[in-house]
Amino acid sequence: MTVSKKSALRRKCSHVSLLVAAALSGGALFVSPALAQSSSGQNSAAEEAEEVIIVTATKRGQTVLQAPLSVSVVTSQTIEDSGATNTSELATLIPSLVVSNSQGPVQSNVGIRGVTTAGGSAALEPSVGIYVDGIFTDRTSIGIGDFNDIAAVEVLRGPQSTQFGNASPAGIVNYVTKRPEADFGGEVRATLGDFNKQQFAASVTGTIIPNEMLGRISFYSNKRDGFLKNLAGKDMNDQNSYGVRGKLLVAPEGPLQLTISLEYSKTDINCCQPVWDNVPEALYARFATGSQQYPFNGTGAPLPRNQVKGQVIAVDGASTFEQDLVAGSFDFRWKFGDGFELASITAGRQANQTSASDVDFSSLNLINFPAVGRTNRHISQEFRLTSPKDKALTYLLGAYFFQKNVEETSASVINPQLAAIGGGGIFAQFSPSANSIKNRNAALFGEATWEVSEKLSFTGGLRYNYDDKKISAFAERLRQNGTPLSPRQTIPDNKTQRDGGEWTGKLVAQYDWSNNWNTYASYTRGYKAFGINDDANLLRNIPGADYFFDSEKVDNFELGTKGYIEPIRTSLSLVLFNMDYSNFQSLASFVDTNNQLRFFLQNAASVVSKGAELDFVSRPTKHLTFSGGVTFLDATFDSYPNAQGPSGKIDLSGKPLSDAPQWSASLVARYERPIGENLKFYTQADMFYRSDVYTELTYNLLQVQKAHTKYNARIGIGQTGNGWALEAWGRNLTNEITFGRATSAAILGQLTSVLPFVGVASYPTGTSTLKFTSEPRTYGATLIYRF
């Protein structure tokens, strides 16, 4: 077998101390924290780093340092020590990652480098691809639930369209679940905390048939009361979910391997309502004096104003989200010849979702969506051929197919007394709508690396994507007696189907200055596929609007350097990036004939996201590890002269993107040392900083989330290796209440603007702001037993 000198050097030196064993946060490069707990002070850096982290999402078996891209890998130990249980909490460990929550899990958006998915429409491709074990899941709500039995979370920043296709123009997040192991073992965790938190998780793995089959099964249950105190109904933003995952690994030692994975999870929560802030005195007084003035005033509960810190609301209607998720995959690997591997990954996923929402966000019985249903089905197939790794020329070839079918039904219901005003000719009491979406994507792709010398290598990649999208939809506005208030709306026949192809690719040059340090320069072409707006009311409310929006394209230029400085036991990574977007898919808004704020997609002319990402890990002693990261970001609309706002056309050219903080940073300190012969003490503290950020494209200063810092901590004692451990923990220790989304309260004012027709005063919302807030300070204890 011919082995390149460069490959041999890399294997021999293992990139000396791939980040010294223990990056615990901050968008840094991560390795297992267990490596940071060496029992001997005489170990060399190379010996401490003999276990390296492979980035599975590169599909080429590269380590964090070898991969010529901006990447963070957060290990299971890091996740556990930080107390993160979901994607939103994970974002505090990676500065470039932003998760914004609003009216429910479906509307939660993930962003990288200031670019987030513009809305929760199923007709829209995400800007950040969400993957589980390399399998595309489309949205966070149907990706992964609690971080139970997770081996790592990989975040690849910047376009990844060559290997991942049309849904990764800003990057990807890949959740890697733990694989079956031959040795019998497992773990049981039980957590109690404030807000009546009760969390339980267990996993077990081992050999089922010697040399033939390994297995792994895990289970979790997570319950917690809502942290939003509701004066007019159930407390909101609780947790209530459980799930089970099973894996079988067939022929673990042979050239033919099959991994079968099945999982089921259930979520049933009361979520999500905003807190009222910046409430004018006139609106507060109107609620206080008018509880019996008109039947739809509901409970008569006062309006909790300016309660962001106290997290108090008063909402009479139901706001719920329920999901049943089933997923399965067959991962077949065949190793043949002199180091070749053929992979076939077949996967399916289905999520059945039901939600309800009180969208006047108050104790008034005005308008709600009592039953929104969505069924989301995925199937995918990927084939990959990987060449032997120890050659001067290595390559990967692949083919991919993905199909998504989404069925949605919805209806808004207005209080009968309100709908009767004006003889029933102003508001529709019942407004049903539905849509059916079918997206198909097929692709051929390849990537090759040529090691020109022991120090210099070039990588090139190319992918052709073909997309076919179909949609049908209707929307109606009905009076109390069931007759139409206006004609039934559908998407025009010539706007229900669209198809086309797109080329993407990348070029990378990488130079190894030494065994411990390298620099790369890269150009990547990414895209997000075109789409069709799924709101059948679009043309009625905005004449001349286009149901079609075009493919978004991005040209990304990166210059990165990363390596290990052995004298100071520190690893560093610095990446400079410039991402130029054309036809950027942006969320526009309008107010419909029921005075509801609606959204649709349109193309902005161009967007530029540029900045720098610095990550580090330092281990000054064998007991102490520091890690962290800093991101500087400048993400703006370079040109957007015809943006559609609620009141008409506006020019957003030169304005910053929403969810794009200029500065973000994280820092983690972990200390661990033995106590006697078989006990250890450990503690971890971490902090996260984010500068001011606009939460909406209205650029209303009342909707700006101000700069803030959050702190988490954990302290524990337990047996070394297997055995018991007891931990006490706290998150958001200073009780810093932040919000991921803030909107105006215009809907309340608009719906009550007709009350003077019946001699009743309207509700002046004025400067009122609705803020979807994050969790307050939480604390608790966790008991762990490993075997």
Taking Cα atoms as reference points, which of 685, 667, 664 lies closest to residue 738? Answer: 664
Q: What is the pLDDT of residue 219?
A: 96
CB 299 within 8 A of CB 318: no
Q: Is 746 exposed, middle or buried (0-12, 13-18, 19+ CB in 10 A)?
A: middle
What is the Cα–Cα distance from 781 to 446, expressed in whole angstroms?
Answer: 49
At residue 77, φ and ψ (nearest 5 deg) are: -65, -40
**Strands 171-177 vs 150-157: parallel, antiparallel or unpaired:** antiparallel
Taking Cα atoms as reference points, which of 124, 154, 142 lies closest to residue 27? Answer: 154
Instruction: Please list the residues that pair with 246 across neighbouring strands.
Output: 217, 262
What is the Cα–Cα distance from 711 to 705, expressed in whole angstroms?
Answer: 17
Token pair for 230:
């509701």
What is the Cα–Cα distance from 766 to 770, expressed in whole angstroms?
Answer: 12
**First CA to last CA across the chain, in angstroms?**
42
Detail the DSSP E strand segments found in 95-209. Answer: 97-100, 109-112, 115-116, 128-132, 135-136, 150-157, 171-177, 185-193, 197-209
Return left, alpha or beta for 49; rule: phi > 0 is left, psi -120 to 50 is alpha, else beta. alpha
Q: From the first residue on, what is the mean pLDDT of each consecutive set of 10 residues in the chain (787 residues)? A: 45 36 36 31 37 69 78 83 80 85 76 83 84 87 78 91 82 93 96 97 97 96 95 92 96 94 95 92 80 56 84 92 96 94 96 93 89 94 94 95 95 88 85 93 96 95 95 91 89 92 95 93 94 79 79 95 91 95 83 62 88 93 92 95 77 92 94 93 94 90 94 95 95 94 83 81 88 94 96
Q: What is the pLDDT of residue 215?
A: 97
- Measured in whole angstroms, the distance separating CA 5 from the mean position of its chain's CA atoms is 40
Q: Is 774 exposed, middle or buried (0-12, 13-18, 19+ CB in 10 A)?
A: buried
Amino acid identity for residue 582 in this structure: S
Q: What is the pLDDT of residue 745?
A: 84
What is the Cα–Cα distance from 659 to 692, expressed in whole angstroms?
Answer: 9
Token pair for 23:
């990056």
What is the Cα–Cα distance from 476 to 487, expressed in whole angstroms?
Answer: 7
At residue 298, φ and ψ (nearest 5 deg) are: 65, -130
CB 722 within 8 A of CB 787: yes
CB 486 within 8 A of CB 540: yes
At residue 315, φ and ψ (nearest 5 deg) are: -130, 125
CB 221 within 8 A of CB 239: no
Q: What is the pLDDT of residue 297?
A: 55
**Model pTM?**
0.89
Query: By 3-state DSSP, what share of the chain in percent is helix, strand and coil, each rounded to 5?
Result: 10, 55, 35
Q: What is the pLDDT of residue 763?
A: 85
Dihedral over Cα of 742, 748, 749, 750: its sign = positive
In the DSSP assignment, the letter for residue 278 is S
> DSSP of 476-494, one letter per residue?
EEE-TTS-EEEEEEE--GG
